[in-house]
Amino acid sequence: MRKQESLKNRKFIKKTDILLFLGILLIGLSVLLIFSALPYGETVIIEHDGEVIFEGKLGAQDESFELEGSGGIILGVDIAEHHASVTHASCPDQICVRTGSISKPGETIICLPAKISITVRGSTEADAVTF
Amino acid sequence: MILQNNINPKNSPDNSSHENPKTEPKKSTKKVITARRLKWLSLLFCVLAVVLIAISVVLHNKMSEHTVLTYSMGSYVQQRVYGADKKTAAQEAASMITELENTISWRVEGSDIEKLNLKSGGEFIEIAPVTYDLLLLCKDVSELSDGAFDVTIAPLSHLWNFDSGDEYIPDHALIDELLSSVNYKSILLDDGSAALKNKITALDLGGIGKGAACDTAVEIYKKHEVSGAIVACGGSIGAYGRKALGDSWKIAIRDPLSDDGSTSLGTLEIDEGFVSTSGNYEKSFTKDGTLYHHILDPHTGYPAASELTSVTVLGGSGALTDALATACFVLGVEDGKKLLAKYDAEGIFIDQKQQVFLTSGITEEMFTLSRITSSPYTVVSS
């Protein structure tokens, strides 16, 4: 009888073991999921000469503002639902305006004369771009 | 949890229904319970540990990264550094790159190159070891590429002046006249000193300056023993060590067909090394149906009539990959591959028919084409 009982008990513990194991797996997976999903929201970062002067989530709210960069160059920045762009600039080359709008992680608008860069950051971006 | 509750009541009546002495089964159930509790506790700790590890890894990853963007070499310098000494290393790398610019830029008054250009056709002058080594490297690549890469192209590149953005096509006679001054053999090097043989010869290290800047940065990273870092000086990239989680570096290659450079053709994954690209889309203009781009053929004085639109080179030094990318663009796929083999470097060639050619060292795991459905590119196996 005691032997049977201990066998029963053992079986029972084994069952809970499996259940708990599954539970841990579930929790572990959900934690992983949460953390992999967290940085998914894309961020717009504007830097001037190495210093971050603006940081905001893409799609959080529509914003339009003007920035003054090096050499007194004024940039008009537009951050809309899913993209960022430079609408006007007082620099001579207008490269930043012609770059158009950026939306994907890793994309950058750079205004060399004003030393201003606008970057979209996200979880899937490449570490660098060669060109 | 629900299942557990269902099983428990079932089990306890079972135990008590037995007609054995009352003390023994009670003891055993107690034992079972404490054992179960212990298991529960240890498993709970396991879960907690998993959660804590996950959180700390994410936080560590975020906090251990230091990014900085500065401006040198007529371009931006973007650094991302991991490790204990990351801030000092990045700061020192940035200032060393500016110092390098002041040594090798022909635009900077008092730089080695400015002095050499001023004293061309004259006596030897002493130059910094870094300038000497770079000139040595330039001459070497020139020789092995049969002059497809040549830093004495300066008089012609200044004539075309693609940097200005003007759509200017110089007079043919003027190009021919200046072409006679283009010859890497007129760079004379002797034990830390250099001279230019002809009066009309001039140097422009702009073609390797960004790569050399990456070399400088990586040297600083090594000195500070950071765990990992990536530096991008314009389109030239230097990668060192590993990211916080030990991942390799992902480098996107610009799509030559993209007007604004916002899309990538594919991704190159590397552990360590330097990557440079030469493409006909940069500093270019189209006039009367002809594309004029900034990569001049030192043999003709005109933009290289290459079948290629872009070449990306992976190698052991930034100055070297810069020089090789330019040379390969001028040489084309076949001769380009032969040149890369001499330097143990790898390359990705893209031609005007959107064909992608890889050297044997670029494995399938390393290079992936962008997974956009509209990608017109196909990898041609050699």
pLDDT in the model for residue B263: 75
pLDDT in tens, B93-138: 999 999 999 999 999 999 999 999 999 998 999 999 999 999 999 9
Grade residue A28 by pLDDT with cuts at 50, 70 and 90. Answer: confident
At residue B333, the 3 state secondary structure works out as helix
pLDDT in the model for residue A82: 76
- Nearest by CB to A127, which of B58, B250, B277? B250
Determine, for residues A38 and B254 on separate chains, whether the beta-carbon distance falls below 8 Å.
no
At residue B316, the 3 state secondary structure works out as coil
pLDDT values of chain B reduced to their tens digit, one per residue, 382 residues: 444 444 444 444 444 444 444 444 455 555 566 777 777 778 777 777 787 777 777 666 656 788 899 999 889 999 999 988 999 999 999 999 999 999 999 999 999 999 999 999 989 999 999 999 999 999 999 999 999 999 999 999 999 999 888 899 999 999 999 999 999 999 999 999 999 999 999 999 999 999 999 999 999 999 999 999 999 999 999 999 998 777 889 999 999 988 777 678 889 999 999 999 999 998 889 998 899 999 999 999 999 999 999 999 999 999 999 999 999 999 999 999 999 999 999 999 999 999 999 999 999 889 988 765 456 888 987 6
Minimal-distance CA residue of chain B relative to A16? B4
pLDDT in the model for residue B382: 66
Q: What is the mean pLDDT of chain A?
A: 78
pLDDT in the model for residue A122: 65
State percent of chain A over pLDDT 90.
Answer: 13
* ipTM rounded to 2 decimals: 0.79
Please classify residue B13 by burial: count the beta carbons closer than 10 Å to its beta carbon, then call 0-12 exposed, 13-18 middle and 19+ buried: exposed
Distance from CA of B249 to the nearest CA of A (A): 6
Distance CA A73, CA A24 (A): 56
Determine, for residues B32 and A131 on separate chains, whether the beta-carbon distance falls below 8 Å.
no
pLDDT in the model for residue B372: 55
H or E segment at A101? Answer: none
Determine, for residues A19 and B32 on separate chains, whether the beta-carbon distance falls below 8 Å.
no
Residues with Cβ within 8 Å of residue A124, at least 6 apart in sequence: A105, A106
Whether the full predicted model's pTM is greater than 0.80, yes or no, is no
pLDDT in tens, B49-95: 787 777 777 666 656 788 899 999 889 999 999 988 999 999 999 99
Does the CB of A82 have a partner CB in chain B at under 8 Å? no
pLDDT in the model for residue B370: 76
Over residues A36-55, the mean pLDDT reads 73
Grade residue A34 by pLDDT with cuts at 50, 70 and 90. Answer: low
Per-residue b/e over A107-116, b at no fewer than 16 CB within 10 Å? bbbbbbbbbb
Does the CB of A72 have a partner CB in chain B at under 8 Å? no
Which residues of A are less than 8 Å from B24 in CB distance? 2
Q: Minimum mean pLDDT among A41-45, A112-116, B24-28, B105-109: which range?
A: B24-28
- Nearest by CB to B47, which of A9, A17, A24? A24
User: Would you list the DSSP string of B82-146?
Assistant: ESTTHHHHHHHHHHHHHHHHHHH-TTSTT-HHHHHHHTTTS--EE--HHHHHHHHHHHHHHHHTT
Over residues A59-83, the mean pLDDT reads 85
Taking alpha carbons only, the member of B251, B256, B236, B281 closest to residue B351 is: B256
Task: Locate B99 and state its tokens.
Answer: 């110092």
Grade residue A92 by pLDDT with cuts at 50, 70 and 90. Answer: confident
pLDDT in the model for residue B58: 65
Measured CA distances, B8 to B3, B265, B310, B348 (Å): 9, 60, 70, 65
pLDDT in the model for residue B18: 47
